[in-house]
Amino acid sequence: MKGDWEKVWEEARERPVALVDCRQEIPCNPCEEACRKGAIRVGEDLCSAPVYDPGRCDGCGRCVALCPGMAIFLLDRRGGDGQAEVTVPWEMCGEIVEGERIWAVDGKGKVLTEGKVVKIKWMGGRWPTRLVTIRIPEERALKVRGVRFRENSVGSSEEVDQEYDLPEDYPVCRCEDVSREEVLKFLKMGLRSLTALRRSSRVGLGYCQGIYCQEQLRKELGMVTRRSEEETGMFKVRPPVRPVKLGRLGGVNG
């Protein structure tokens, strides 16, 4: 995926190019249908992540509008002046106007920088998604995943560069009511595996079976052990993924 982005970055000097940031292997392929150049392919297995060839993209933006996950963007560096134009899909209420100053945010909603709206485009027909193009310093361009009205966001651009520092009472595990403080306590005790942490703190053993808490737990463990997310690994998954009543498996209630 990283290699792709380097190629997107290079190609974007010549023309607008799609940046595909689809990380979920979910059964979904509108991007493939949207692309008239055959640059995006999902293939036979609907659940596989799309394979994208930036070289074939003509920057039409159809995939940006059609991706239900809003995971595709356009990058345009033709200006060559250190500024880039990034196009993101917009499906919110409220008027957005050209010339407006707006926050560019990353995938977690963190403000990256201030941008200026240079173009708003409708794909036509009944499709409601608007394509909002903003102009921002190009070093931030690959990270932009959305825009946010300024009045709804942080007060000043000084706060832009601050990393998230989660408070101690942050609920890492919502089902089992485990705070970040408790997780840190177990890490201080010397636990160094996801399994040990899970059994001690109950993070990941609740009703949701780790959907929310796993990522945070891996992050905390990774920070202590200084290992990458791959090295930290994942919870062992044992079916069923959701709690299922025995009666259901036995044919009662379908």
Partner 1 sequence: MAEKEMRVEKHPVLGVMGRGRRVTIFLDGEPITACEGEPVAAALYAAGRRVTRYTRKGHEARGPFCMIGRCTECSMVLEGWGMVRTCMTPVREGMRIWTPGRKGG
List contacts with partner 1 (CB under 8 A): 91-93, 128-129, 174-177, 206-208, 211-212, 243, 245
Q: C-beta of 96: minimal distance to partner 1 in Å?
A: 11
Q: Which candidate, 152, 137, 125, places its Cα nearest to that of 65?
A: 125
**Helix ranges, 190-234 (H):** 194-201, 213-225, 229-232
Q: C-beta of 175: minimal distance to partner 1 in Å?
A: 5
Give whichever of 209 and 232 is closer to partner 1, judged by the CB atom: 209
Q: C-beta of 45: minimal distance to partner 1 in Å?
A: 24
The count of other CB atoms within 10 Å of the CB of residue 197 is 23
Give whichever of 1 and 244 is closer to partner 1, judged by the CB atom: 244
Q: C-beta of 85: minimal distance to partner 1 in Å?
A: 24
What is the Cα 49 distance to its own chain's centre?
A: 14
Give whichever of 83 and 216 is closer to partner 1, judged by the CB atom: 216
d(CA 69, CA 42): 15
DSSP for 67-128 reads -TT--EEEEE-TT-SSEEEEEEEE--SS---TT-EEEEE-TTS-EEEEEEEEEEEE-STT--
d(CA 115, CA 134): 6
Q: C-beta of 29: minimal distance to partner 1 in Å?
A: 19
Give whichever of 160 and 211 is closer to partner 1, judged by the CB atom: 211
Give whichever of 41 and 174 is closer to partner 1, judged by the CB atom: 174
